[in-house]
Amino acid sequence: MNWNIDPEIINLGGLSLRYYSFLFLTGLMLSILVLKLIFKQENIPADYLDRLSLYTVIGVLAGARIAHTFFYEPSYYLNHPLEILLPIQSSPEGTYKFSGFQGLASHGGIAGMFIALYFYSKKTGEQFIKTMDLMAIAAPLGGAFIRIGNFMNSEIIGIPSTLPWAVVFLRNDNIPRHPAQLYESLCYLSIFLIMIIFYKTKREKAGKGFFIGLVLVLIFTARFIIEFVKEKQVPFEEQMKLDMGQLLSIPFIFIGFGFLIMSFIKAGKMSDINRSN
């Protein structure tokens, strides 16, 4: 398949609406809708979701942006600090134009989410781990839409491939490649469905930390594997056996297993207490 979609949907007076931004917001709104249903199931006040949504959006965007600038293009952004947190880009003439955020790292987004949840928990009194578990159920849905946005942008492309579903990203070259963005999107959508099924069937028995642990292991294991069919994103990765995305995924996989072990221990203690009663 030849792919040459214009990333820009419409431009009105210099203000651009791009597929990536639209899909990012769509995934975010659908995730919030899923959380709304979960909060209702858990009897959590509806206004808490508004506060959680605000904290999370700020935390995820700031974390994803800062991580991208620090791990992938530090030299450029040290010379253009305004572009780290502002959606602008400088020109050779010294002027700025609205560009949207050109680079968001999912690993930083997860870290930013954890920080946002800490402040949410302090403000509302809701348990930190419980809130993480609930958010973990909806989070993969948002990730699936973000990767479709990358596909629309013809970015984060795969390595050359002779498979029948290979895609030629004409904005880059004429080489058939793995549609790595779609691989990742389908993985995240599958993980979302797994999380929903587990929430419906294991919610009462699962120990605290089970859902956040499971989603971290599944998402970042999938990310680690799919990186093998992606092109390197920045030149310095060419000299690395594992790219930056894989190196940053490893700690999150171990953290996920840590949460799972903790949840199994807690679930076992609860079973012992119930038997003794």
Q: What is the pLDDT of residue 64?
A: 79
Residues 244 and 237 sit within 8 Å (Cβ to Cβ): yes
CA dihedral 180, 185, 187, 191 (to 10 degrees): 160
Mean pLDDT of the chain: 86
Domain count of the fold of the chain: 1
Per cent of the chain over pLDDT 70 is 86
Domain that holds residue 76: 2-276
**Distance (Å, rounded) from C-alpha 67 to C-alpha 228?**
21
**What is this structure's pTM?**
0.82
pLDDT in tens, 143-191: 999 999 999 999 999 999 999 999 999 999 999 999 999 999 999 999 9
CA dihedral 203, 209, 214, 216 (to 10 degrees): 140
Q: Is the pLDDT at 30 greater than 90, yes or no? A: yes
